[in-house]
Structure 1
Amino acid sequence: MDYSATPRAARADGLETLDAQRLADAPQKRLGHAKAIAAITLGNGLEFFDFTIYSFFATIIGKLFFPVEGQLVQLMLAVGTFGVGFIMRPFGGVVLGGYADRAGRKAAMSLTLWLMTLGSAIIAFAPTYAAIGVAAPILIILARLIQGFALGGEVGASTALLLEYGSDRTRGFYGSWQFVSQGMNTVVGSLLGVALASTLAPAALESWGWRVPFVIGMAMGPIGIYIRRHLDETLPGVEDGTAAGGEGAAKAASKPAEQPASLPVRDLFRDHARSITTGVVTTIGGTAANYIVLFYLSTYAIRILHLPMATALWAAWTGAVVTVICSPLAGTLSDRIGRKRVLWVSRVLLIFAIYPAFMTLNASPTVPVLLAVVAGLALLVTFTAVPNIVMLPELFPRAIRATGMSIVYCLGVSIFGGFAQFFATWLIEISGSNLAPAWYLIGCSVVSLLPLPFMRETAGRALD
């Protein structure tokens, strides 16, 4: 009897069984990752749902809550209030980002969703200026401040968690779903805005129709909180230690546990000041492009080009669809050839494309031209924004990653993104040129390229 054949055969049978088990587990693993991505990105997507609706109905909100002389001034106040929420983002980044690095990503993201829900409820049910006077705009500002504070921590915690679920070869793809969620919620928000503007009479839309999307946004918060309860924590030393749900988290589980930072904000500014500076400057170009192309162009088409509201709203829908389709492609490309290369090429192309795009739009202010311009610019914006947002959390170690990402992103977004619509409208007012928003975006993009040569490439390298 050949005894040597027995263990060899047993090993072969064991390997076949193991391979079969891996194949059987693969669909379940992919499904688990898909659920995790959906749960993680839900809060940030809710932000863009609210922002989309607010941008679409900025003219109505300005009329109802800021009854001053002149439609352009009303619009400036309305979009200025849109930007007020961004003032609170750095504070939210410090407080909630630090909380995410101490208590865990899940706890911080649940808190941010409750705060977002509160802000949506205030806007949905706020009485107008005609009913309660000056208290009306104060309520709108308060709601935007609460939401801005919440999102200051949401972006850092959720993006850090996304990257920690990925591996060294897939972090760009995982991080890209942050923008997929934004695009999908913008699609839903824009379709809802178009439906309301198309089906309701102007009096009904102005009376109660514009409030409907905010009620829907308010209802989404508790649903998101419930879904996020089933996520695995990726911050070592919190709850169940490290996560078991992602490729990157599985690697972390094999390493000694790293305790959460006791003072993440202090550690961040003491040891990573250079990363903060380069990250903030690089973010300026991506966020300005994102808010000008995907949000302001709808308001621009209605107010400056005098296109009908129901028709012009399709511009945001077009930009959002392009974002949804192209974001995973941009993330995967950045995994393969590097974040810096994708960001550099796309941002330079955007610099050369933005001014001719605005010239074309003003020379032929029609809906087909508007949609074509938005689609082309959105493509470039996606390929410049995705590697940008993935690079930011990669600059910091796990113990202070959520805080670092929150602060860097919020400082860059707060002024140059949140007030992009206000700056663009103001530049048109003082210059008398409808092309002024293009110069704003060109300036932001050029400045944002300056630190890129001094930043290290993060694609394909170990996250921790």
Structure 2
Amino acid sequence: MTTLDYSTGKALPDGAPARPLTKKDYKTLGLSALGGTLEFYDFVVYIFFANVLGRLFFPEQMPEWLRQLQTLGIFAAGYLARPLGGIIIAHYGDILGRKKMFTLSIFLMSLPTLVIGLLPTYEAIGIAAPLLLLAMRVLQGAAIGGEMPGAWVFVAEHVPQKHYGLAVGTLTAGITGGILLGSLIAVGINSWFSTSEINAYAWRIPFILGGVFGMVSVYLRRFLEETPIFKELAERKKIGRELPLKTILREHRPAIVLVALMTWVLSTAIVVVILFTPAYLQKVFQIPAALSLQANVAATLMLTIGCLFTGWATDRFGTKAVMIVGWGGMTVTAYLFYLGLPGTPTSLIALYALVGFFVGSISLLPIVGVRAFPPAVRFSGLSFSYNMAYAVFGGLTPVLISVGQQYDHLFPAHYVGAMGILGVALAFWPLSYKGWQVRSEKS
């Protein structure tokens, strides 16, 4: 099979050595991963303070279950807004360039994050408080909708084919590092401030920090260069001839379905295991907030390591084998973790970290997804498929889990386990392990 070098988009002759990673590649990877860390922190920090936001932005007399549902609903609104932002940003990313949209998306994220940190609460302005919170969350969702697919495409089109998986895995690890950063700051806030201090003012600190982080990322991305593939497309004038989304819907429907299903697996792994579980541990098993957050830090750290390992493993062993082992491992370890609750502090942290490592298999989505579409519509194809699926599955999952656990406290384990099985099944999808390298470039 002909092998493609994704830093040029050209086929390598049989037996030709792939070029190694250069100093410029490491710079691109480092700045992209750091920017992804800071931006994804902005997007997820909301969930770590969801209980506090629920108390401050909704009426005191509202029933607890309804307050939680509405708070999670606002969190879900960020996911529902992703497709529109993703489609618009990706459209111009395929026409005007990856770098410009890559920088714009992070600016559009940092501004509403800063505003959330400055918002007056329900006690001060009444119903306007949750409405403004909702508006800012929608803006965040639109921004992240363009950021993640753009970041994956940007890095994938810079690096040599030999290190493609590792590079995409490294970027994904950087993005998940935003969750780790949010978790660490949540632990710090809960350790350094009393409950009354958090409710009074300390809850604002993470959001204000997020706004500052975002502006730093905007500055850092000035030092990145446009991808070689986009430059070549521009020189050949192969961009802008047709609305990219129209081409995708007409010619690449199998790739859309594949990426959407993989997004369902990814969104379940992140939303349920990493974002939802700390609150679940506290409410269902009365595990102290400090301990549940410490366990979450361990799981998120292992998630980041797992993303790196998954990327490296696909370069070494192939994508199909890694999908089977990675998603199968997530199913098994998820049941071990949830069935073992509440356990001891040691077993809680150890098992949460173990399932977190296998959640690192989420790197498989961009590794497969970028290669599923040809360069001229790659940004739009990945963004549309990923964001439409995430809007549905990522947005509804918190509500679904919240309702499901009322009937079965092991519902999160069943849901994660089912998605792991789906991930294994997708390893046998034709595009997921053969033919994409030539087919996707010649489509």
User: Same fold, TM exceeding 0.5?
Assistant: yes
1:460 CA displacement:
9.7
Does the 8 A contact of 2:42 with 2:110 survive in 1? Answer: no
Which amino acid in the other structure matches residue 204 of structure 1?
E
Give the one of 28, 33, 36 matched to 1:36.
28
Give the one of 327, 331, 350 matched to 1:372.
350
Give 2:45's aligned residue: 53
Q: Does 1:314 align with 2:294?
A: yes
Q: Name which of structure 1's ranges 195-204 and 31-40 shifts more when overlaid on structure 2.
A: 31-40
Q: Does 1:155 align with 2:133?
A: no
Give 2:265's aligned residue: 285
Give the 3 Å change call, closer, same or farther, for CA 160–288 of structure 1 in structure 2. same
Map Cα deviations across residues 202-250 of structure 1 (whole Å, 9 max, x no partner).
111111111101111101222211211121111656xxx35xxxxxxxx
Give the 3 Å change call, closer, same or farther, for CA 200–280 of structure 1 in structure 2. same
Q: Does 1:455 align with 2:433?
A: no
Give the one of 84, 103, 112 matched to 2:105.
112
1:447 CA displacement:
3.8
Does the 8 A contact of 2:191 with 2:290 survive in 1? Answer: yes
Q: How many Å separate the matches in 2 of 1:80 and 1:297?
A: 17
SS at match of 1:144: helix
Give 2:188's aligned residue: 195
Which amino acid in the other structure matches residue 286 of structure 2?
H
Give the 3 Å change call, closer, same or farther, for CA 65–185 of structure 1 in structure 2. same
Does the 8 A contact of 2:306 with 2:358 survive in 1? Answer: no
Map Cα deviations across residues 154-192 of structure 1 (whole Å, 9 max, x no partner).
111110011111222111111012221123322322222
Does the 8 A contact of 1:101 with 1:235 survive in 2? Answer: no
Q: Name which of structure 1's ranges 41-50 and 260-269 shifts more when overlaid on structure 2.
A: 41-50
Which amino acid in the other structure matches residue 316 of structure 1?
N
Give the 3 Å change call, closer, same or farther, for CA 275–394 of structure 1 in structure 2. same
Give 2:85's aligned residue: 92
Structure 2 stretches lacking a partner, 5+ long: 1-19
Give 1:224's aligned residue: 217
Q: Does 1:441 align with 2:432?
A: no
Give 2:239's aligned residue: 260
Which amino acid in the other structure matches residue 161 of structure 1?
F
1:30 CA displacement:
4.2
The 5-angstrom pairing of residues 5-404 of structure 1 reads 30-67=22-59, 69-234=62-227, 241=231, 257=236, 259-262=238-241, 263-362=243-342, 364=343, 366-382=344-360, 384-404=361-381
Q: How many Å separate the matches in 2 of 1:110 and 1:101?
A: 14
Aligned residues: 418
Q: Name which of structure 1's ranges 403-412 and 444-453 shifts more when overlaid on structure 2.
A: 444-453
Give the one of 394, 397, 402 matched to 1:425.
402
Does the 8 A contact of 1:282 with 1:452 survive in 2? Answer: no
SS at match of 2:238: coil
SS at match of 1:208: helix
Which amino acid in the other structure matches residue 253 of structure 2?
A
Q: How many Å separate the matches in 2 of 1:194 and 1:325?
A: 20
Map Cα deviations across residues 352-404 of structure 1 (whole Å, 9 max, x no partner).
33233211114x2x43232122111111111x211222111110011111111
Does the 8 A contact of 1:92 with 1:150 survive in 2? Answer: yes
Which amino acid in the other structure matches residue 355 of structure 2?
L
Q: Name which of structure 1's ranges 296-305 and 125-134 shifts more when overlaid on structure 2.
A: 296-305
Map Cα deviations across residues 63-103 of structure 1 (whole Å, 9 max, x no partner).
11123533333222222211110001111221111111011
Q: How many Å separate the matches in 1 of 2:254 and 2:33?
A: 28
Give the 3 Å change call, closer, same or farther, for CA 258–369 of structure 1 in structure 2. farther
1:345 CA displacement:
2.0
Which amino acid in the other structure matches residue 196 of structure 1?
I
Which amino acid in the other structure matches residue 79 of structure 1?
L
1:130 CA displacement:
0.9
The 5-angstrom pairing of residues 406-421 of structure 1 reads 406-421=383-398
SS at match of 1:229: helix
Which amino acid in the other structure matches residue 204 of structure 2?
R
Q: How many Å separate the matches in 2 of 1:380 and 1:196?
A: 28
1:276 CA displacement:
0.3
Q: How many Å separate the matches in 2 of 1:299 and 1:47?
A: 23
Does the 8 A contact of 2:176 with 2:303 survive in 1? Answer: yes
Percent sequence identity over aligned pairs: 27
Structure 1 stretches lacking a partner, 5+ long: 1-25, 243-251
Q: How many Å separate the matches in 1 of 2:436 and 2:316?
A: 8
SS at match of 2:395: coil
Following TM superposition, the consecutive aligned residue runs of length 4 or more in structure 1 with deviations greater than 6 angstroms are none
Does the 8 A contact of 1:340 with 1:387 survive in 2? Answer: no
Does the 8 A contact of 1:284 with 1:445 survive in 2? Answer: no
